[in-house]
Structure 1
Amino acid sequence: MSDLALDVYTCDVFDLPGGGQFSPTTSTLITGPTEAILVDTQFRAADVDEVIEQIEDSGKRLTTIFITHGHFDHYFGLERLLNRFPDARAVAVPAVAKEIAANLESDRAYVREFLGGLALDNAAVPEALDNLVLTIDGVELVAIEIEQADTAPTAILHIPTLQAVVAGDVVYNGVNPMLAMTERSDWPNWIAGVDRLASLNPTTVVAGHKRPELGDPADCIAETRDYLQEFVTKVDGLQSARELITHMQSRYPNHANPSTLVVSAVTAFKRKKAND
């Protein structure tokens, strides 16, 4: 039996200033007898403060904040967290750390425009890991870079003693995946990334975006793979974004945030038309 435990915080879906919604996003606190690691940070003040309270209530010493990838919703709480826990080390795999540092100022400008003050500003970046093995009270956790998710570069955190993976945006759980920021050529690599995660044989998988009532079962791996394969097949086979949206909603009627499906479908067909 492992001495480690997981405590997952998921923010609420909320309406965007320009229309549509933002998907529920996770942060995961991994605790041992005396130490803790946080994976991903949230990005709105109230949610980051909930994560801070979660850490404080655990009674454990936060040693590390691990960032899975460079989307603002997963790292813009970093500065606020480090101000509260100055002894914690913020880290990411080298490719992710490099991307975040390179894109920080453009991300800050984008978030100000896109969310209109709903999100925190952030000037902190993670440092590059020189060793992809993290520890909590001597128990090893392994950071693994994945070639493609809804962005690249990206990474997951494998916790072998729990048979668990904190998956970032490699997998989604009951939420429409964001495909609009990837190209048609990226999708097979994303599916391969899902398969790479599956090869670890986890029994617990924390998706980067999920409906909180669904918990963290490993069947979200197959759900994500099936969704991606269906989306790819129908982009190739259908004639319009409207047809694709209707089809995917019939297949996945309970998936949260339909606005993500809409923007993904519209973007896919715009690119398809441009390439015809």
Structure 2
Amino acid sequence: MTVCSEAEEPIFTGDTTSSPQIGRLMTLTYTVFDAAPGSLNKTSVVVSGETEALVVDAGFTRADGHRIVAEVLDSGKTLTRVVITAGDPDFYFGAEVIADAFPEATFSAPADVIEHIQHSYEGKLQAWAHLGANLPTRLVDIAELTETVLTVDDTQIEVRRGSDQLGDRAWYLFEPASRSLIGGVLLFEGLHVWTADSATPELRAEWVRVLETLEALAPAYVVAGHRVAGAPTDLTAITHTRDYLRFFEQTVTESATAEDAKAKLLAAYPDAGLVIAADLGTKVAKGEMTWG
């Protein structure tokens, strides 16, 4: 656990691989739950103030949902809202567990995220059937998120969309007071970047442009939507994702096949997790398969 006082610049050090990562920034505390590789290294964040808590993304499995519930209970705060920032199942499959534990909490997401979830839910249940009892048994009610500013005990958190082109894969949260950024599906750290949903060079170039706008915010605290456990909370997530996308573009352009491109990615990022992203992403980019 790492702490900085309200008057200091945020400083994050120490071993966080065995417990949730906690950052004290201004009047809010950010507790990051790092899911296991089997849950695609998805992060969920409990943002808490003096009396209230907000959860960002609900986890991939029922077990992940229970762990998020435990973090909220340990905080001693009242959970007011769960915000889902993308329509992929690792962002919401754990929601029903949280809803059952906190029936008064509101679940909300941008309209295009809700549309994605409703359109793909049944298919995703089939695709991830091997999760068995860890699958959700129902889709919770998710209200359309129309606000551009959320509050946790009067501290404002902005809901931002980085690009119209990227659709529901462009949402992130930013707290101006402490320059804290929750990057959602836009950011990966210590992992191969999931490109299968960004099938064209144009979409990937737009993604890079959005990353440059995130870097221009000069955030002091950054949480990637997917990361290795306990990863740094500095600009690394932004630079890693951007550099990977640029190398990915060069690699798929120069490679004759997806297998060739994948081999180059694995050689360039030998320690990166989420290898399935390199496998599927190169196949989609080379036109050897479709996704979504």
> Cα–Cα, structure 1 residues 32 and 222, in superposed 2: closer, same or farther, change >3 Å?
same
Q: Deviations over 1:30-83 (max 9, x none)?
A: 010111100001121222111101000000111110111100110111122111
Instruction: After TM superposition, list the pairs within 5 Å mapping 1:170-209 onto structure 2.
Output: 170-184=186-200, 185-209=202-226
Given the alignment of the two structures, is residue 68 of structure 1 paired with residue 85 of structure 2, yes or no?
yes
Does residue 1:11 correspond to 2:35, yes or no? yes
Larger helix proportion, structure 1 or 2? 1
Amino acid at match of 1:165: L
Residue 46 of structure 2 aligns to a residue whose secondary structure is strand
Between the aligned partners of 1:149 and 1:122, the Cα distance in structure 2 is 30
Counterpart mapping for 1:196-275 below 5 A: 196-271=213-288
Give the equivalent residue in structure 2 for 1:91.
Answer: 108
CA distance in 2: counterparts of 1:29 and 1:173, whole angstroms: 19
User: What is the aligned partner in structure 1 of residue 18 from structure 2?
Assistant: none
What TM-score, normalized by structure 2, do the two folds share?
Answer: 0.83
State yes or no: 1:166 paired with 2:190: no
Structure 2 matches for 1:76-155, cutoff 5 A? 76-112=93-129, 115-147=131-163, 152-155=168-171
Whole-angstrom distance in 2 between the partners of 1:53 and 1:117:
19
TM-score (norm 1): 0.88
For residues 259 and 140 of structure 1, the distance between their equivalents in structure 2, rounded to whole angstroms, comes to: 37
Structure 1 residue 259 displacement after superposition: 2.4
The residue type equivalent to 1:194 in the other structure is L
Distance 2:128 2:162 in 1: 25
Matched, 1:27 2:44: yes
Aligned length: 264
Checking the alignment, whether the CA contact within 8 Å between 1:93 and 1:132 is kept in structure 2 is no
Which AA in structure 2 matches 1:127? A
CA distance in 1 between partners of 2:116 and 2:63 (Å): 26
Q: Which residue of 2 aligns with 1:18?
A: none
> What is the deviation of 1:169?
1.1
Whole-Å Cα distance in 1 between the matches of residues 56 and 156 of structure 2? Answer: 15
Q: Percent identity?
A: 25
3-state SS of 2:55 partner: strand
Q: Which runs of 5 or more residues in structure 1 are unaligned? A: 15-21
Change (3 A) 1:221 1:244: same
SS at match of 1:100: helix
| Distance in 2 of aligned mates of 1:111 and 1:12 | 16
Q: In 2 relative to 1, CA 130–103 (structure 1 residues): closer, same or farther, beyond 3 Å? A: same
| CA-CA distance at 1:150 after TM superposition | 8.3
User: Aligned-pair distance for 1:89?
Assistant: 0.9
Structure 2: which 5+ runs fail to align?
1-5, 7-25
